[in-house]
Amino acid sequence: MKGALITILSESGGVVSGQQLSDRLGISRVSVWKHIQQLQELGYRIDAGPKGYHLKERPDIPYPWEIPAWEERIHYYPKVASTMDAARDLARKGCPHLTVVVADRQTKGRGRLTRTWQSAGGGLYFTMVTRPALAPMEVARVNFAVSFELAQTFSAVCDVDARVKWPNDILVEGRKLVGILSEMEGEADRINHLNIGVGINVNNDPRRREPNAISLKEVTGKKVSRKEILVEFLTRFQGRLDNGLDSGVIAEWKTITETLGRRVRVETVRDMYEGTAVDVYGNGALVLELEDGSRKRVIYGDCFHQ
């Protein structure tokens, strides 16, 4: 009902009487007014007068009804401990493929290797539940597809040249714009679900706590629509999955990476390696050329550009 009401007010571009809304929605004028009040409380600027209602401004909040093509799959929270935790609960209960949990704030947002992800207001924080038709050994393709399509999204929406960093970061001007975290549950030969968590610095300022971070607002010099970023990315990513995820996605990822060809330090849970990043294999492993000329494949770890 909220979505239908907003659509009518938006398409009119002017004042719509309570009676017109009542007739079109099939509800009483009292119910119309109650919905208007709820929308006002949710951040919509709707002027109410003797002649009816006028929508003056919509908030940049990804409410499900604001994204009609995804309305049934989006779960929005003003604040949540972690979108990853909420998505895991939904996945275990059998939610559909490409269910999305999105929040304005996280109180216990997580990054890779048990780090905390700062989740200040103005950023975009979401987790997708995916159920890809891939073998567990092929699952890295999903992560690479996410980072590639996000970079393409920033280019399309706000003309920002984003680059990818192995394994899961997106950089602008060498500074971190996006962090990506994935969690998988499954069996030896099949994936039950793969959840991809994404944190994007959009209109927040992350520099106080992360000096080497950057936001889209800082890059563009203006406020950027979080809704537009989310819709563009989800559309691109769904299209990618619908066409099948073959190893070509890693080849595409390589065309916009800042990692290959430079000296890096990679830290794993137990070890640390330094060398030149020379390739990424089809399983997502980073290939390092070490000082002695030998090569080392690293499946998982934190990568630091030098």
Long-range contacts formed by 185-192: CB under 8 A, 24+ apart: 185/88, 185/91, 185/92, 186/136, 188/136, 189/135, 189/136, 190/135, 190/136, 191/131, 191/132, 191/134, 191/135, 191/136, 191/139, 192/91, 192/131
Note the pLDDT of residue 137.
87
Q: Is residue 164 a contact partner of residue 256, using CB atoms and an 8 Å limit?
A: yes
Sheet holding 163-165, edge to edge: 74-80, 99-106, 124-130, 190-200, 175-187, 169-172, 163-165
pLDDT digits (tens, 9 = 90+) for 8-27: 999 998 999 999 999 999 99
Of the chain, the percentage scoring pLDDT greater than 70 comes to 97
CA-angle at 136, arms to 130 and 139, nearest 5°? 55
Mean pLDDT, range 123-134, rounded to an integer: 94
Domains of the chain are 2-57 (1.10.10.10), 64-254 (3.30.930.10), 263-305 (2.30.30.100)
Lowest mean pLDDT among 4-18, 30-44, 98-112, 157-171: 98-112
In single-letter form, the type of residue at position 238 comes to Q
C-beta separation of 298 from 288 below 8 A: yes
| Phi, psi values for residue 39, rounded to 5° | -65, -40
3-state secondary structure of 101: strand
Residue 171 makes CB contacts below 8 A (sequence gap 6+) with 162, 163, 164, 165, 177, 258
> CA 58, 63, 67 angle in degrees (round to 5)?
90
- Order of strands across the sheet that contains 263-267: 295-298, 286-289, 272-280, 263-267, 302-305
pLDDT of residue 145: 96
pLDDT band at 111 (very low <50, low <70, confident <90, very high): low
**Spatial distance between the Cα atoms of 219 and 130, rounded to a whole number of angstroms:** 31
Is a pLDDT exceeding 90 seen at residue 277? yes
pLDDT band at 186 (very low <50, low <70, confident <90, very high): confident
Q: Which residues on adjacent β-strands are paired with residue 53?
A: 16, 48
pLDDT of residue 306: 87
pLDDT confidence of residue 36: 96
pLDDT at 252: 96
**Looking at the predicted structure, is the pLDDT value of residue 156 above 60?**
yes
Q: Phi then psi for 194, rounded to 5 degrees?
A: -125, 115
DSSP-based three-state secondary structure for 84: helix
Residue 85 has pLDDT above 60, yes or no: yes
Per-residue pLDDT band for 198 (boundaries 50, 70, 90) equals: very high
Cis peptide before 68 (omega within 30 of 0): no
Mean pLDDT, rounded, for 210-219:
94
Query: 127, 106 in Cβ contact below 8 A?
Result: no
Strands 295-298 and 52-57 turn out to be: unpaired
**Percent of the chain with pLDDT strictly greater than 90:** 82
